[in-house]
Structure 1
């Protein structure tokens, strides 16, 4: 209204004045970080332009329209539904898929089992996309929420999944099985049993360092194939360290609901 009053009352109610005013208005609201109010602001400007005369009655009318519009929006936001139950369900599903993926890696390292078709990877990608979309919607539906811990959680899991997709070829195409494979399998088995929304990554990074030390103490490879296998396994644990770094940067989610009974974890475990 200030822009409209100064521009139109000073230079006249002409289309060229309206256009120039909008060109100046856009960078102003962007710099003030209030660009979400652009549409409603333009509507008010057009009202004033169409009237051709800025009066007290017009000012009061526009203020009343703003109060009605924003007041209604605020009231709706206050009573907007909460998606926590659905988001918690997505967390359970995602963590279940991650446990399955790690379990398949353990099977391969211990038994050379190559029957896994990798469907959990595709399922995890689709699930994370749905979960992030719902978490973002939850933020948009609540005026007081600037960020959503669920959105940050699913974003973190998405970054971890990118690492898993990247390292799977290294671990599932070993030319031969070497002694170090059992070490990695033990670590991955323990990690698969501790996939949750809390933050225990520091503990597992410490365990990973122990694995690296044991690697260093083992005999050197006897042939080229064993060398390639050991190199792939070492690259794998380096990537898993990055996987844990991503998790360590996440503070964890404090949730009110328990996971299903087959998760064997209580609420306090989720709040670590």
Structure 2
């Protein structure tokens, strides 16, 4: 928010100075239009400035006709609002309604619909919105460091979650609050919104690597929640549970590695072969627990499959290598 205020200040002062140097009547209006034009991302800025400019031109044309036919009366202005605003919104230009109102109200206040007066409003629009667009395009905050920090938090939280899962498999009486799962969900959501904002700032050659990474983590959180439901069914310590815990120990290490090495996946395949070679359960309780552990391994396989299909960024110096490699575990 602080940086946006600085950009707004620069755009406003620049627009007023330009309008003043060109001897445009009421140059402060250019500053007001610049304030309305400053936005949070480059792509959104281009889109909203275009909408504001087109909506203002449409509004000027409609209001000029109404003022010419019926005069400069308050009720005519009310008619313009009742008719013009819905039409502008239907034309997908609703973001420009406020800007349109500024220029139309100026024409109404001046009671002049000559080509000179209308041309002045167009020039003010061009200066104000143009300065806002230039300021937006010149510089936007770099989100790379923030995204890297969020990624590290998410990876660390995932590692903690897998460590807790391993402890629960070894000891069904182990108590875990699940706080890391809540924090991971919050950080992934923050990462997705930040990645979207960073993507909107890339007008040329946009890179979706960060968005893919955080979306991958979001999908994996769904798989982890399914795992926890299955673990709640494992109420007795079993040798198969201990073997599966080793997988999650390894996964807590793999999740922090720079590339997907497939270590946990290979161990999972070997464990599944061992399960197939084991004798059948001797009791109903053993059957239920082993069934839950087997289903847990299948959920783990789905989790790892998401990692294989996704890619992620590893930072400025390793961006190109990351895009050629598969994602983290």
TM-score tier (shorter): 0.7 to 0.9
- Give the match for residue 19 of structure 1: 82
Matched, 1:7 2:62: yes
Give 1:202 deviation, angstroms: 7.4
Matches within 5 A, 1:223-242: 223-242=283-302
Residues 100 and 167 of structure 1, relative CA distance in 2, 3 Å threshold: same
Find out whether 1:144 has 2:214 as its counterpart: no
Matches within 5 A, 1:176-215: 176-196=236-256, 200=260, 208-209=268-269, 211-215=271-275
Rounded to whole Å, the distance in 2 between the matches of 1:161 and 1:218 is: 31
Moved more, 120-129 or 143-152: 143-152
Name the counterpart of 1:106: 166
Structure number, greater radius of gyration: 2
Aligned residue in 1 for 2:315: 255
Shift of 1:220: 1.8
SS at match of 1:158: helix
Offset from partner CA, 1:3-61 (integer Å, 9 cap, x none): 235433445462223421221111212xxxx6554543443444445555252442343
Q: 1:36 to 1:208 in 2, by over 3 A?
A: farther
**Counterpart Cα distance in 2 of 1:248 and 1:51:** 65
Specify whether residues 90 and 48 from structure 1 end up closer, same or farther in structure 2 by C-alpha distance, changes over 3 A only.
Answer: same
| C-alpha contact 2:159 2:256 (8 A) present in aligned 1 | no
Task: Give the C-alpha shift of residue 96 in structure 1.
Answer: 0.9
Q: Which shifted more, 108-117 or 161-170? A: 108-117
Q: Please give the alpha-carbon distance, in whole angstroms, between the structure 1 residues aligned to 2:134 and 2:216.
A: 31
Contact 1:175 1:229 in 2 (8 A): yes
Worse-superposed segment, 58-67 or 34-43: 34-43
Instruction: Tell me which residue corresponds to 1:68.
Output: 128
- Structure 1 gap segments, 5+ residues each: 259-266
The normalised TM-score by structure 2 is 0.63
The answer to which of 153-162 and 46-55 deviates more is 46-55
Cα separation, 2, equivalents of 1:61 and 1:83: 37
Partner in structure 2 of residue 170 of structure 1:
230
- TM score, norm. by length of structure 1: 0.74
Q: After superposition, what is the alpha-carbon deviation per residue over 1:59-99, rounded to whole angstroms, capped at 9, x for unaligned? A: 34333333333423432442232132222112111101111
Distance change >3 Å, CA 75–CA 178, structure 1 → 2: same
Instruction: Using the TM superposition, give the Cα deviation of residue 114 of structure 1 relative to its aligned residue in structure 2, in angstroms.
Output: 0.7
* Structure 2 stretches lacking a partner, 5+ long: 1-55, 71-75
Gap change, CA 1:222 and 1:76, over 3 Å in 2 = same
